[in-house]
Amino acid sequence: MMLCAILLVPAGLFAQQVLTAREFFDTVAANYASIEDYTADMVWRDERGTMRGTLIYKRPNLVRIDFTEPQDQLLVSDGRRLLVYVPAHNVRLTQTLRDQVGAAPGGIATAEGLALMRRNYNIAYLEGPEPVPIREGSSTFVTRLRLDRRQASEGFRQLILSVDENGFIREIVGTKVDWEEVTMELSNIRTNQRISDQVFQEAGDSSASIEENFLYDPEG
């Protein structure tokens, strides 16, 4: 399920020189390396429907999503353990995360996620380096990168990243191994707010039933 910079590229830098796709990607990664935490409004779309909420991230792998759709649903991880609270079924799904980089749901829109993408994917412009509207008629312009996996072990065959003129990833479109397409949109991004680690403690109704390790065997 899932996975944005205070020291941004100076305004107009991308217009002053033509960067290769990898150089552009590296500039975005450098922006994200300066972020300690961020919050953003998130929309997630897949074949099952649409989810909306507020995403909170803190380096290196703390994440929390408070959903408004489905209402009151929660995803939170302290980097060692993931919890998904589903009030509609009164259940808390937990998962002990494997001890490896990127195992916890920090997402692609982080310094750690981008470092993994650089190593494991071929990077090119989707169409070219020129910014285009993120949607028809939108005032938000983005440059789109296409990332194609180098090895079959990667969970996504392809990723399309839309990066705005300030260096923020505003949309990620991923094609999974089974060809399912998922989309994550980020807006209203706010960085380096000194978010406390307490935000990422497990929450939800403590009386709800618990299902342990619902994704995989942590020892596997």
Among residues 172, 166, 130, the alpha carbon closest in space to that of 147 is found at 172
Q: What is the pLDDT confidence band of residue 199, given thresholds at 50, 70 and 90?
A: very high
Q: Has residue 152 got a pLDDT over 90?
A: no
**Count of CB atoms situated within 10 Å of the CB of 217:** 8
Whole-angstrom CA distances from 16 to 68, 99, 125, 130, 139 are 41, 42, 18, 12, 21
With pLDDT > 90 as the criterion, what percentage of the chain qualifies?
A: 62
Query: For the chain, which residues make up each domain, given as ranges?
Result: 17-212
Mean pLDDT calculated for residue range 175-185: 92
Average pLDDT over all residues of the chain: 85
What is the structure's pLDDT at 16?
55
Omega within 30 of 0 (cis) for the link into 60: yes
What is the structure's pLDDT at 18?
82
Q: Has residue 102 got a pLDDT over 70?
A: no
Q: Has residue 148 got a pLDDT over 50?
A: yes
What is the structure's pLDDT at 207?
75
Q: Can you tell me the distance from the alpha carbon of 192 to that of 188, in angstroms, rounded to the nearest whole number?
A: 14
What CATH topology corresponds to 17-212? Answer: outer membrane lipoprotein receptor (LolB), chain A (2.50.20)
- Over residues 16-54, the pLDDT tens digits come to 578 999 999 999 999 999 999 999 999 999 999 999 999
Q: Can you tell me the distance from the alpha carbon of 110 to that of 168, in angstroms, rounded to the nearest whole number?
A: 10
Name the pTM for this structure.
0.82
What is the structure's pLDDT at 99?
55
Q: Can you tell me the distance from the alpha carbon of 95 to that of 211, in angstroms, rounded to the nearest whole number?
A: 9
